[in-house]
A and B are shown apart, each in its own frame.
Chain A
Amino acid sequence: MAKTTAKTKVKAAKPKTKPEKKAAAQTASAKSEPPKAMVTVYIMGKAHKVPADATIMGAIEYAGYQIKRGAGCREGFCGACATVYRLPGDYKIYTGMACMTLVQDGMWLSQLPAIPSQKPVYDLDKLEPNVGVFQKLYPEVFRCVACNTCTKACPQDLEVMDYIQAAKQGNIEKVMDLSFDCLSCGLCAIRCPAEIVHFNVGILARRLYGKYLRKNSDHLDKMLKNVKSKKYDAEYKEMMKMKKDELKKKYYARDSE
């Protein structure tokens, strides 16, 4: 993936004899490669031949689609590219992020452009970090039937059901810990028979933990006082007046922790 028209203009990668002329950009050099193995995938039902080693996102673009919804960071952080698919001869529904999942022959896939989800408005300053928060803001959490479908749907392999159970018990630290790597892709929420929006429950719990349940850092508080009292003012002023040469000298002479 990440092919671009710009690249076709700049063919640089191959090592040449004069190193000082080396461009640093590199693209996969097509010449030395054997013809690519191809597979057939069904993008929203339509058959396309795509490279066998493509990600789903790469395959969609290879087939000629310009993605508007359904691509974001393209590296597995933002959750924009939630995708559902089935495989031939298999009754199961599979889930994955299009940027992270490789195609398979016969895969029938569709991206989910957006996931409907509820997010109550709240004032974090007025919440108390206990089970009551979930009862008030996300009462559907208590409808969880522990079917584990959310966990099976999670492309990050998180223990989603376990953190929903922890929310029911008011164990905010556990919700924070288990939901920490969540992408908010929404695949759990779209599969949940109890209609829970797991990822928003996770965000709420993490914010509650960060604000109310963390241990305070003494050195941070001390530094804040120092800055407020303008302790560094004189030193700043002195350095801001320094010429480049003086600064350079000071920089290269500085000690390191």
Chain B
Amino acid sequence: MYPDYMHDSLKKVDETRQKRLELERSGKNVFPPMTAEEREDVLNKFHPDYKPESRRQVHIGQNKGELLTTEVADILESHSRIESKLFDLTTPDYETDILIVGAGGAGCAAAIIARQNGAQSIISTKLRMGDANSMMSQGGMQAAVTEKDSPTIHYLDALGGGHFDNKPDLVRALTEDGPEVVKWLEDLGVVWDKNPDGSMYVLHGGGTSRKRMHSCRDYTGAIIMRTLMDEVRNHPDDIKVLEFMPTVELIMDDKGRCAGGVLYNMETEEYFTVKAKAVIIATGGYGRLHIRGFDTTNHYGATGDGLVIAYRAGAKLMYMDSVQYHPTGSVFPEQIAGFLITEKIRGAGGQPINKFGELFVWPREPRDVESASFIRECLERKNGIQTPSGRWGVWLDSPLIEIIQGDGYMNKNFPAMYRQFIRYNIDITKEPMLVYPSLHYQNGGVEINDHCETNVKGLYVAGEASGGVHGRNRLMGNSVLDYNVFGRRAGKFAAGYAKSAPIGKLSLEHITAYENELKKAKIKTDRVAPVLLPLYTSDEVKKRQLTAHYEGTLR
């Protein structure tokens, strides 16, 4: 239930709804979309990335000298959890064709396809299989399948959204594989939303010029992820899943090829070694680093671990200066602050509204532009609404959707969102939601080519951990497509490579070398990475933990 002082503003939203409905029904844009110059202006002034302290120079590694997101530079300039001399690499604990790091969408897709291409794999994961951002995507997956659409139109939309910085070969792979991914998932048993005649039910997303958002109600990620997990579990002889066992370093061979990993059992605190012919990093993103202090939509384990271990092994990162803030994170009630409110709400006709009940931005700008506009509306123009705990937000008019699409539409298409709010006595079919940008996605990552290869032989990367696909801004629905397209590609190409890949003598020399580099750059720090889990222990509690020693976040 909203506090009394918001009622005047809520009333204004009610009062303007009919007029805004007519505007929507007229078929014209409800608000003028921005020109290139307007986009640039609002980004420069209000997007968090463009603040000077958001970035700092990294002093070691492949990207030495580049400006990176400050929190990313921090985890790169940190110590390893292990001492390399403690490991006897002549007798590895496990041997396999491919070590897959991460059991989200990309990791599971890679394992399934690698198996079809004759490769066995071990999936190492920090939490449970499926504890990943893949599980949480609500709104959908882009893929061009309708008669009005084509993969090349999708290509142009993705490039424009990414400010034309995307790597062309990756965007081609993304968009051209799209239709096949829809079919592949359907044949694995994913239940897509459909029209009565069987044709795909598709909606718009921010930055799309055609309706191509495929969904499974608002449990899109959950349905896809559980399907992939179930399929992985159907092949226990070929795919071994090690849960609560993150890979905390890569193992190389004496020829500089990636050849396995060191795994840490977070429960027994033992370390294990895996020898593999190829490694696929599919560790996802970094929302739990709470960049710039933002709340995040991300899952508990999203701490950018893959970036760190790949970087120590000599991999090159791309666009790690760019962070995605999802325009519509929840800000009220406090208990769900930062939670994702799917862009599908705007795709279905929901409008962002200021405290006077007025539209102030086109609802379907690309995410960074939309987010920056929300921030401007709240902080510069003071047209936002402040919550009792001091957060700012703008209204997201969801009741409009029920009027546009018909009674019962919200319940059928947004059951997760409805549940989220009704627990707090907010009925989103009758009242709007209060929203503000929330830390959502790692736009950059380890640079790959369209075979998911990196500059390190034998090291493949897929999904959010990779960089280049989305340029400096990803469009809605392209991440679900990304982890499927590139998860599959990584599985295929790594399996091909593993068939004939030689492995020399195993080595952790690169860890020692990295420590030396830290020393040489005169970086003195007690930071330890991979971070593994965020730390939410209060300072009060920590003060009393007199004998606890923190290794990063774990003690």
Q: Which residues of A contact B (CB under 8 A)?
A: 1-15, 19-20, 22-29, 32-33, 53-55, 58, 61-64, 66-69, 71-78, 80, 100, 102, 119, 121-124, 156-157, 176, 180-181, 183-184, 203-204, 206-211, 214-220, 222-224, 226-227, 232, 235-236, 239-240, 244, 247-248, 250-252, 254-257
Contact for A77 among B136, B209, B210, B535, CB less than 8 A: B136
Size range of the interface on B? Answer: 35 or more
Q: Which residues of B contact A (CB under 8 A)?
A: 35-36, 45-48, 51, 71, 127-128, 130-131, 133, 135-136, 144-153, 155-157, 159-160, 164, 168-169, 172, 176, 179-180, 182-183, 186-192, 194, 197-200, 204, 209-211, 216-217, 219, 221-223, 226-227, 230-231, 233-236, 244, 266-267, 288-297, 299-301, 325, 331, 333-340, 371, 375-376, 378-380, 382, 388-392, 415-416, 419-420, 423, 436-437, 533-539, 541, 545, 553-555
Are A210 and B45 also in contact (CB < 8 A) when A28-B391, A33-B389, A180-B217 are? no
Contact for A24 among B222, B375, B536, CB less than 8 A: B375
- Closest Cβ of chain B to A43, distance in Å, is 13
Contact B128 A257 (CB under 8 A): no
Residue numbers in B under 8 Å from A74 (CB-CB) = 299-300
Are A75 and B340 also in contact (CB < 8 A) when A25-B292, A53-B335, A181-B219 are? yes
Residue numbers in A under 8 Å from B160 (CB-CB) = 247-248, 251-252
Contact B155 A58 (CB under 8 A): no
Contact B266 A180 (CB under 8 A): no
Residue numbers in A under 8 Å from B36 (CB-CB) = 248, 252
Residue numbers in A under 8 Å from B340 (CB-CB) = 75
Residue numbers in B under 8 Å from A232 (CB-CB) = 150-152, 176
Q: List the A residue with the shortest CB-CB distance to B379.
A: A22
- Closest Cβ of chain B to A137, distance in Å, is 11
Are A210 and B191 also in contact (CB < 8 A) when A22-B380, A76-B420, A224-B183 are? yes
Q: Which 5 A-B pairs have the closest CB atoms?
A: A207-B189, A215-B198, A10-B293, A29-B390, A19-B380
Contact for A214 among B47, B148, B191, CB less than 8 A: B191
Are A223 and B144 also in contact (CB < 8 A) when A13-B391, A239-B156 are? yes
Residue numbers in B under 8 Å from A58 (CB-CB) = 335
Contact for A6 among B290, B380, B419, CB less than 8 A: B290
Q: List the B residue with the shortest CB-CB distance to A124.
A: B189
Are A77 and B338 also in contact (CB < 8 A) when A209-B189, A218-B199 are? no
Residue numbers in A under 8 Å from B198 (CB-CB) = 214-218
